[in-house]
Structure 1
Amino acid sequence: MRTSRARFWAAVALAAATVPSGLACIWDGDTLAAEVRHRGYLVLDALTGRFDRLPPEYYRKRYELASERIAKDPSALAAYDNAAVACERLGRTDEAIDWMLKKQAAMEALPVHDRAARDDARYRFHANIGTFYAHRWVAGGAKRDDPDALAALDHLTKCMAINPEAHFGREVVQLGMIEWLNSERKQSLGDHLAERVMSSVPYAMDSSNNVLAEGLAGLVLLGAAWESVDVYNCMAHTLNFSFDSSLSFVAALRVEELLQSGKRPLDQSEGWRITLDDAASFWEDQYKKRYRTELTKVYSQLRAAGDEYVRKRNEYVLARLAEGRHPDSDGGFWSDWTEPARVELPDRRALTRSQFALVQTLLAGGILAGVVILILVASRVSRSRKRAR
């Protein structure tokens, strides 16, 4: 645990040397709306289950509408995304990949007029098909260097080259997880992801943003990681390292919940798990017991609220599907929906954002000063050697 922490802090210090200024994969018709709905609550919603887990009927209807649209207009690129993601949500991954290959053929047949629109279509193509290949690879046992793994890595790398900052930074995190699964796994998943993110995103751990935590949360909200011990454990680690002790403790509670339900991690490296004691390690001793009790109680309330959110949301959806309505064909589908009030999480952060920013600035200044001193020393030694000759 401590060795892992030391390696992580070395990476944080290296990233801080740039003195970042601040912020800064499945895509279908719901993705952008989901990003807006969770803005400001992304990590908390992923930790507590307040996000869409829509019923199969919703995706069957989406598939039907998308198929009809493509039959009428083969150039309707977004409809290919909807058809493919609907198949993936229904467990039909082979069909999802086939739809993306059809989209690729449709893109190649279109004249190039709008570069931005073309890049957006290409980005969504690579993000979706890369994710589908990854899911099929994992479902097939995640054998090293399997063609599906290599295809997933290739497409997600191309996706990041087009838009490296999209999707909460999810693609870089997803890419890192696939790399780790396809490796000998000598390094812990958390260490690998930290290094991957910080080598790809210069501002990865600035005072207002945590790309790794948000990328992991994106895997939950927009992917299939709601029951992944590894994802939540990594979230607990990275939040702890950024002194966000409230969210780190909640993430550790989620890990505890999953383990008690029988879920098991893929990461079997020594010290892989962040315990509740680890998550609370930055709190002052006189507050630890009270904060732990308080946050454990609030987490229970947040989880209950998350489950109730899903129940109400699906109840709303099913009632309108029974009337033949769907958001892909009915612009007023969500007009009667009211977001339930939120249960707020007490802020028991070990350091405030401004304090964390100061720590980063001091780290950056210290590293810069060290580099300058090394240069001066090297220069003086060089001159001394020349005089000695």
Structure 2
Amino acid sequence: MGPATDPVISDSALPSSADVVVIGGGIIGTSAAFDLARRGVRVVLCEKGQIAGEQSSRNWGWVRKQGRDSRELPLIVESLRLWQGMNEAVGADTGFRTTGILYALSSDADIARWEAWLERVRPYQLDSRLVSGDELTRLMPGATRGFKAGLFTASDGRAEPQQAAPAIARAAQRAGATVLTGCAVRGLETTGGRVSGVVTERGHIACNGVVLATGAWSRLFCKDHDIRLPQLRVRSSVLRTGPVEGGPEAAAWLPDVAYRKRLDGGYTVAGAVASVADILPDSFVFFREFLPALRQNWRKMPLRFGRRFFEELSWAGPTPLDQASRYERVRVLDPAPQQQVNAGALAALATVYPVFAKAKVAQQWAGLIDVTPDVVPVISPVERLPGLVVATGFSGHGFGIGPGAGRLAADLVTGAPPVVDPHPFRLTRFSDGSEIRIEAGI
């Protein structure tokens, strides 16, 4: 099972109506609900399982501008601003700390790649920079392996995935939102060609707008409503250790391992390349869109064929709204971790930091990451179904950008001026003839 999340007590009554229904209780959905509630919008958040039960509690916990696609930078800058005031805003500790993030670089090619990235993002005036020598040593206390240089962003930070979305959900409730857990949304209702309500397992909620923030489930939900959303799932494995004395403070990516210190004194550890792409029916449906990513990353992301292909094949058709849906049959996606990959990551960490040689593995888990062909999220109204806003496809980068993404989704569903230009995140970029572009170095 995944890591234990902080509890959120579900509201008991199902409202008959709302202005907006948010589907999905991860970091994006809870952030959208919180923002909407603070605006005075009547909002209901429906989560089929528990708040942050899937990838929002299973990620690395990084909150970073560093290394992002330039199309995401305005949104992550806004998100960092929100994170910096998040603990006060929600009246709880989300675990956010500004500790910096480091990429340790071992070759001239690595250095050149990130020099090119720094040049590309220069207009955004980030504090990211290359470091070396004594400064790099100070960022890696106790390291016995040297590196040529590092890319470091001091204003980046970390938060606790098991605490953050639950804290935001509880704050949304206090602001007036209704939060329903164990309440799957089976589908949408429409009137005159636009969204007019949702059908949940507990009944109907009339509404004017819907934010779909269901992570790895979003493609399936869209498919049920004849909306083409190019999205696949990637499985990523993670472990956490018990407390480790004398370890580094800044989160870091090394050639073989990535780590992040936790508030409990342990570390979240993963292989620097720890993802597996399962071959699914949608792998063939979206082969053309994902071909550029496959060409660029085939050495880094092994492909696997197994029982998940047949599981998802059985989900091919929608279920009538008056019957129990697949969202009720599978409340939480809980894939098995790749324990061999995790063990290799911890061993690699111990070769750099001897203090980890005796670290105890407290837990291991895996999560399913929702990915798009260009590794940039979709945060977009759906042109063919007015009233629906999709916020998904964060491609492993969603936790840090979550508060900003939730705010943008709230802007779009209410018609408010968007906090950033939403054009790069439009769904129609996959159907309007735009080139599918993956930025070099990302």
Do the two structures share a fold, i.e. TM-score over 0.5?
no
Shorter-chain TM-score tier: under 0.3
**Would you tell me which structure has more helix in proportion to its own residues?**
1
**Bigger radius of gyration among the two:** 1
Normalized against structure 1, the TM-score is what? 0.26
More strand by share: 2
TM-score (norm 2): 0.24
